[in-house]
Amino acid sequence: MALLCTRAHVTNRLVALGKRQTWARAASAMPDVEHEPWSPPRTPVPDYDGWDAQLEADFLPRRSTHSKSYHQSRPPVSNPRAGIVDSVLDLVGQTPMIRLTRLSKELGISDEIDLIAKCEFFNAGGSVKDRVGLRMVEEAEKDKRIKPGDTLIEPTSGNTGIGLSLAGAVKGYNVVITMPMKMSEEKMNTMKALGAEIIRTPTEAAWDAPDSHITVAAELAEASPNAHVLDQYLNAGNPLAHYDGTAEEMLRQTGGEIDVVVMAAGTGGTVTGVGRKLKEVLPHVKVVAVDPVGSILAVPDNLNDYKRLEGYQVEGIGYDFIPTVLDRNIIDSWVKIDDDKAFDMARKMIRHEGLMVGGSSGSCMAGAYEYIKEHEAELKGKRVVILCADSIRNYMSKFLADEWMEEHDLPSRFGPADGEESPAESLMSKVREKKMSGLKGALDMGWLSQSEYEAACAALEK
């Protein structure tokens, strides 16, 4: 039944586009009537338009934990890292939460606000999207929609692709990934190492263009009954992974003490699943979503006017359409964050907390910072949780490298402030001074000639 539901879901979404194509064909058969020029038949893509009744119907019966009240006595979850696990898939989830005291101090945030990070980069494949890759596979297996040996095709900005590739490698699926060119080589090579094949699509293609990562995936899946797009943009398994997993963990880890939760939105599965569970259990919780400048997910829509649909560098978040798994009704506030603020904050998180995060974690924290600044007085005594979605491993050649930052006109701010001496520089000047005084002594004793002394000094200066 659940299988039929999911298929009907996708089929209905395709009907509208199919009808449009039929009209185009009928028109081209009538030569005397003015009609649109013929264009090659296009593979229809789902008409994503935010959370809807069909997804709600798919979501509700699949929840594994859905009590509305929170009891501290919920049975503890065993720690998979304490013993031996059967496969790496057992290490998806159960991520730590870390208090960001040092970053708070650096940013001048009141020490009466408890700032905590849910560190999703500790997942086996390195991101929050491991949960989604695995859950979508498990749901499809339960429905008997897929079986080992089948081919899973997924349009992704890479992390869902890594999660799926991880599940595919362990469970025996072929994985084909369609991914815009913008996304990092680090992600591509990780997926290749896991056995996936990667098809790169143009970054500038609109979501429903013939060459978009979404359309190309749909086209490939049409070619064989054993090829499937699980489709993170409309698959209930995406928000469910966070409703049953990420949010449940947050509740247990904090003893139910959360006041604000901040997440950056891509498909919106994280913010929808986490936000929904937290609000069911703790109705006072405020859910804050972060959308990159250039994207159009934020509400009200005029927030998106500045640089609307212009390109940006942060990966994994923001879109030019509203994914079905994004329930914008769950979100209390949206914050828009640009590349400059995102990467600067990610670098600060690495530098001051040792959190090896990716760019969207910087967006998330920068959004939290703006929210906190605006609500500082009322947040005293409260706890703010941010979610760090992925790891610096995905961006070693990108925002971690000063050269890349400079190339993209982004300020690189590692190292001491301008005019300040770094610890290494200070040590080196002390060593130089000591050697200089040795040389002077040798000159005074007549062990060095004046010219030898000057040559040795010049060499030291270098």
Among 180, 316, 362, 367, binds ligand P1T (CB under 6 A): 316
Among 104, 156, 190, 235, binds ligand P1T (CB under 6 A): 156
Of the two residues 369 and 395, which places its CB atom closer to ligand P1T in the complex?
395
C-beta separation of 294 from 262 below 8 A: no
Binding segment (CB under 6 A) for ligand P1T, from list 8-16, 259-267, 277-285, 344-352? 259-267
Among 95, 104, 123, 160, binds ligand P1T (CB under 6 A): 160
Instruction: Tell me which residue of 94, 167, 86 sits closest to 134, measured CA to CA.
Output: 167
Of the two residues 263 and 410, which places its CB atom closer to ligand P1T in the complex?
263
Enumerate residues 6+ apart whose C-beta is below 8 A from 322: 48, 49, 50, 296, 297, 328
For position 93 contacting ligand P1T by CB under 6 A, the verdict is no
Residue 101: is it exposed, middle or buried by C-beta count within 10 angstroms (0-12/13-18/19+)?
A: middle
Among 46, 269, 275, 292, binds ligand P1T (CB under 6 A): 269
For position 129 contacting ligand P1T by CB under 6 A, the verdict is yes
For position 297 contacting ligand P1T by CB under 6 A, the verdict is no
CA dist., res. 216 & res. 223, Å (int): 11
Q: Minimal distance in Å, beta carbon 75 to ligand P1T? A: 27
Instruction: Tell me which residue of 187, 137, 130, 132 sits closest to 163, measured CA to CA.
Output: 130
Give the length of the chain.
462
What mask, x for binding ligand P1T by CB under 6 A, covers residues 343 to 382? Answer: ---------------x-x----------------------
382 an active-site residue? no
Q: Minimal distance in Å, beta carbon 390 to ligand P1T? A: 4
For position 265 contacting ligand P1T by CB under 6 A, the verdict is yes
Sign of CA dihedral 441, 442, 445, 451: negative
Spell out a b/e string for 228-253, using b for 16 or more CB atoms within 10 Å of the CB, else e: bbbbbbbbbbbbbbbbbbbbbbbbbb
Q: Minimal distance in Å, beta carbon 288 to ligand P1T? A: 13
Among 237, 266, 362, 367, binds ligand P1T (CB under 6 A): 266
CA dist., res. 316 & res. 207, Å (int): 14
CA dist., res. 285 & res. 329, Å (int): 14
For position 184 contacting ligand P1T by CB under 6 A, the verdict is no
CA dist., res. 443 & res. 169, Å (int): 70
For position 390 contacting ligand P1T by CB under 6 A, the verdict is yes
For position 275 contacting ligand P1T by CB under 6 A, the verdict is no
C-beta separation of 339 from 410 below 8 A: yes
C-beta separation of 96 from 338 below 8 A: no
Say which of 68, 118, 129, 279 is annotated catalytic. Answer: 129
For position 268 contacting ligand P1T by CB under 6 A, the verdict is yes
Rounded (10°) angle between helices 247-254 and 269-281 = 50
Q: Minimal distance in Å, beta carbon 389 to ligand P1T? A: 3
Among 6, 165, 270, 333, binds ligand P1T (CB under 6 A): 270
Q: Which residues are catalytic?
A: 129
Binding residues vs ligand P1T (CB under 6 A): 127, 129, 156-160, 264-270, 315-317, 358, 360, 389-390
